Amino acid sequence: MIIFIKNNLIFFLNEKKTPKRIMTLTNCFLKGDGKITNLLIKSKPLPNTFISKDTYINSETCYCFHLFHNLSRETFYCEREKDYLDIVEKIKKEIVDNSKGSKTSIDQFHLVEYIGKGKFSVVHKAIDLRSQEHTYCAIKIIRKAKMENVDLISTRREIDIMKQLNNCDNVVKYIDYCENYEYIYIIEEFINSITLNQFLKKNDYFLREEVVKAILRQCLSVIDHAHQLGIIHRDMKPDNILISEGDYKITIIDYGLGRFLGANQLVVNEPFGTLVFL
pLDDT tens figures, 238-261: 999 999 998 999 999 998 888 888
The contacts of residue 35 (CB under 8 Å, 6+ apart) are 61, 62, 63, 81
The model carries a pTM of: 0.66
Which residue type occupies 76? F
CA dist., res. 204 & res. 231, Å (int): 33
In the chain, which residues have pLDDT < 70? 1-27, 37-60, 69-72, 95-104, 262-278
Running DSSP on this structure, what letter comes out for residue 79? S
Predicted local confidence at residue 149, as pLDDT: 78
The catalytically annotated residue of 151, 176, 235, 239 is: 235
CA dist., res. 36 & res. 166, Å (int): 45
Q: Where are the domains of the chain?
A: 2-99, 109-189, 194-277
Q: Where are the alpha helices (DSSP H) in the chain?
A: 81-99, 149-164, 196-202, 209-228
Based on the residue annotation, tell me whether 128 is a catalytic residue of this protein.
no
What are the tens digits of pLDDT across the range 40-64?
Answer: 444 444 344 444 444 444 556 778 8
CATH superfamily of 194-277: Transferase(Phosphotransferase) domain 1 (1.10.510.10)
Predicted local confidence at residue 15, as pLDDT: 53
CATH classification number, 109-189, choose in 3.40.50.360, 3.40.1160.10, 2.40.128.690, 3.30.200.20: 3.30.200.20
Q: In the chain, at which residue ranges do the beta strands (DSSP E only) sit? A: 2-5, 8-12, 19-24, 29-37, 51-52, 61-69, 72-78, 109-117, 121-128, 136-143, 174-179, 183-189, 194-195, 231-232, 241-243, 250-252, 259-260
